[in-house]
Structure 1
Amino acid sequence: MSTSCDAAELADFDDESVAEEISTEHADDVDGGARSTHWRMTPPRLALLIGVTTAAALASLIGFLGIQDRHAQQSVDLRALYLQTGRQGAVNLTTIDWRHADADVQRILAGATGTFYDDFSQRSQPFVEVVKKVQSVSTGTVTTAGLESSTDAEARVLVAVSVQTTTNDAPQQSSRAWRMRLSIQKVGDDAKVSNVEFVP
């Protein structure tokens, strides 16, 4: 009798265990299938991911190229400013008319800074007196100009100038060729002459 009950209980236990195990395995399979379905990279999702990644890469590249282009343009503009300042500074220095020498000197000082401004402002009055005394009229024309060196803050410009001059003692125009090295300094959004050297 005891053996029969044990066998029956064992049979019930085995049936329940098997059923539970099958149920558990089935649940795992269902969950695993759900997880697998959730993380599966389907073709539409893959295409979307590639599209988003490509768009982000292109946006970064365009932004980088835009910054590079802006920096390059700023460099070109700055070099042009230095060169124009050097050319105009050379013209101002060599174009003096005794009839409005004071205004000519003020024009030179307006485009000057640093050491050159200090030196020229101290010597400007004796210079004007000499120009008026000999009734000098000089006109400078730039023949060539180029940047010798440049940075974001300063530059050196070489300028060749042809100067035509008349005085009360020599009414016939005399022509001379001058070469100058002008140091240019960035001042805010502008640039000014900070030093002048005459070179052979």
Structure 2
Amino acid sequence: MADNADTPDIAVEESSEPEIAEIDGSPSEPGDDGDVRAKEDAAGTAPPRVHSPVRAAVAVLVVVLAALTGVGVWSFYQTSQERHADEHRQMLLGVGRQAAINLTTIDYTNVQANIERILDSSTGTFHDDFQQRSTPFVQAVTAAQSKSEGTVTEAGVESQDGDTAQVLVAVAVKTSTAGVDEPQPRAWRMRIAVTQPPGEDAKVSDVQFVP
């Protein structure tokens, strides 16, 4: 029996397993992303941050509200100052009006009280001069049995400098004396200086009769 035919030798190469690149598939730690962003920021490679439109709107709103608040406070302050100045002006005017009434309303039956009222509402040189002349004035009024009543028909502040004002007053005066049946009306105009010393009431400091 013939020998088996030579079987060709087949070289079987052992297939080598493909090399697989080693990949680290382990999950990242929670802090890794923050570390990466921090490194990117440090390297200047971090993507630009987009500002929130809501945040920008809030910032604008805050600026607007601050501006409106400042305007409101200034407006309130200015209005308050104007109101105070007007009230002060009206007070000085009122003192001038009352002074004109006091000076033109004299009753011989109560003349001493009338004089005291004028002195109490006056100051300065006018007060001193009127006080010196009060005695002969009382004697003249009493002797004539004079009664006079003044009524303010018009009044206004001519000028003002701080706590001092020049008040113009128009007065209608009715005067009666012994033996005269009807009072004789007369029209007078006076310029009355009113001043308010610090911490004191406003008073008359000068009186002038004007045409």
TM-score bucket (shorter structure): 0.7 to 0.9
Distance of aligned partners of 1:51 and 1:162 in 2 relative to their CA distance in 1, 3 Å threshold: same
What's the counterpart of residue 176 of structure 2? 166
Q: Give the C-alpha shift of residue 30 in structure 1.
A: 3.9
Q: Residue 33 and residue 192 in structure 1: after superposition, are their counterparts in 2 closer, same or farther (change >3 A)?
A: farther
* Aligned pair partner of 1:194 in 198, 201, 205: 205
When residues 46 and 131 of structure 1 are mapped into structure 2, their CA distance, relative to the original with a 3 A threshold, is same
> 2 CA distance for matches of 1:112 and 1:26?
85
Displacement, 1:29? Answer: 2.5
Q: How far has the Cα of 1:160 moved from its partner?
A: 0.8
SS of residue in 2 equivalent to 1:172: coil
Question: Hey, what's the Cα distance between the residues in 2 that align with 1:154 and 1:46?
Answer: 55
Q: Distance in 2 between matches of 1:197 and 1:34?
A: 87
- Against the structure 1 CA distance between its residues 50 and 189, is the aligned structure 2 distance closer, same or farther, given a 3 Å change threshold? farther
The aligned amino acid for 1:193 is V
How far 1:36 sits from its partner (Å)?
A: 4.8
Give a deviation string over 1:132-167, Cα, whole Å, max 9, x none: 111110000111111110122111011111110111
1:80 paired with 2:90, answer yes
- Tell me what 2:188 maps to: 178
Conserved? CA contact 1:163–1:175, under 8 Å? yes
The alignment's TM-score, normalised by the length of structure 1, stands at 0.80
- Give every structure 1 segment of 4 or more consecutive aligned residues whose post-TM-superposition deviation is greater than 3 Å: 25-28, 30-37, 187-190
Q: 1:174 is matched by which residue type in structure 2?
A: Q
Alignment pair present for 1:62 and 2:72: yes
The structure-2 alpha-carbon separation of the partners of 1:119 and 1:44, relative to structure 1 and needing over 3 Å to count, comes to same
Aligned equivalents of 2:64, 2:57: Cα separation in 1: 10
Larger Rg: 2
Give the distance between the partners of 1:161 and 1:176, measured in 2 at CA: 8
Aligned residues: 174
Q: Within the alignment, does 1:134 sit opposite 2:144 as a pair?
A: yes
Is 1:134–1:169's contact at 8 Å kept on the other side of the alignment?
no
CA RMSD of aligned residues (A): 2.1
Q: Distance in 2 between matches of 1:114 and 1:190?
A: 13
Unaligned runs of 5+ in 1: 1-24
Correspondence for 1:7: none
The structure-2 alpha-carbon separation of the partners of 1:87 and 1:26, relative to structure 1 and needing over 3 Å to count, comes to closer
Looking at secondary structure, tell me which structure has more helix per residue.
Answer: 1
